[in-house]
Structure 1
């Protein structure tokens, strides 16, 4: 007499639901360690900036113009607002460093790697932040959004004023270095 057939649970209906939940779960788990991931990203980016231009062009002293990092960002204590500020800074850095007029002495491989890393980190942060965006409570001159926008506008103006010269770009590279140290 044959053994009774054992009944196997049907996984056909539950599997698609699980597949739909996996990206959300992965994103949630990835967002739980944002601070650690951002620190690693910052370290890697600092290394790439160093590889980008191991030495500054000679006689760039006349291009040393202070472009202070916005101190209003250092007072953000809310994790969502801090992540939103970092996202905004990375978006501006990506736009600035994607410029076609980068200096010839920059290492193109390091430059491309830096842009790829920036792009990936921007996408990661966008997945971790609420879709409606995070709005800062303070308005006016102490508004962090406004501070970030003004900071990068000064950087763009600096590049234009110095005709996108290699020395001006070296100053921008140093500004990017400051950004990665502060965020």
Structure 2
């Protein structure tokens, strides 16, 4: 069953436009941080679902995570605010749209969806938050998180295609 997703043209460009804004936010990367381990990687198993509601739920939670993380007041001072605001506005738009799309399907999905989906997503998000905290929200830690966000936008492209199937 297909979800009422954003228009295909806008859907097709959202992840790629977001990647451009993400790059514009921090055009000069921080020097390599050899003393930092990388934040937790997104669990690829969440991308293997063929169910549109599961893909939509995963996409929504990723978008919420990105919005909450990138809207943090502890983001590095050297990041440019204008592209960051554009990205946050775009994330907010998609979050609201996905919430509306899922509103009618939530009860049916909850009875059929895997119970550990949100647990896996929340565990990943907690790991990223802990990573930033453990490294005192340093510019280097933020740069690692920004690179992970880059990967998440590519995953969103996959999830959006699954939502339309």
Q: Could you say which TM-score interval applies, normalised by the shorter chain?
A: 0.7 to 0.9
Is 1:145 matched up with 2:145? no
CA contact under 8 A between 1:64 and 1:171: conserved in structure 2? no
Farther off after superposition, 71-80 or 98-107: 71-80
CA RMSD of aligned residues (A): 2.0
Tell me the TM-score normalized by structure 2. 0.83
Tell me, which stretches of 5 or more residues in structure 1 are unaligned?
1-29
CA contact under 8 A between 1:72 and 1:144: conserved in structure 2? no
Shift in Å, 1:132: 6.0
Alignment partners' CA distance in 2, 1:33 and 1:49: 21
Tell me, which stretches of 5 or more residues in structure 2 are unaligned?
157-165
Is 1:59 matched up with 2:32? yes
Q: Relative contact order (alpha carbons < 8 A, sep ≥ 6): 1 or 2 greater?
A: 2
Match of 2:98 among 122, 125, 137: 125
Is 1:180 matched up with 2:153? yes
- The equivalent residue for 1:167 is 140
Alignment partners' CA distance in 1, 2:123 and 2:52: 22
Shift in Å, 1:35: 5.8
Tell me the TM-score normalized by structure 1. 0.75
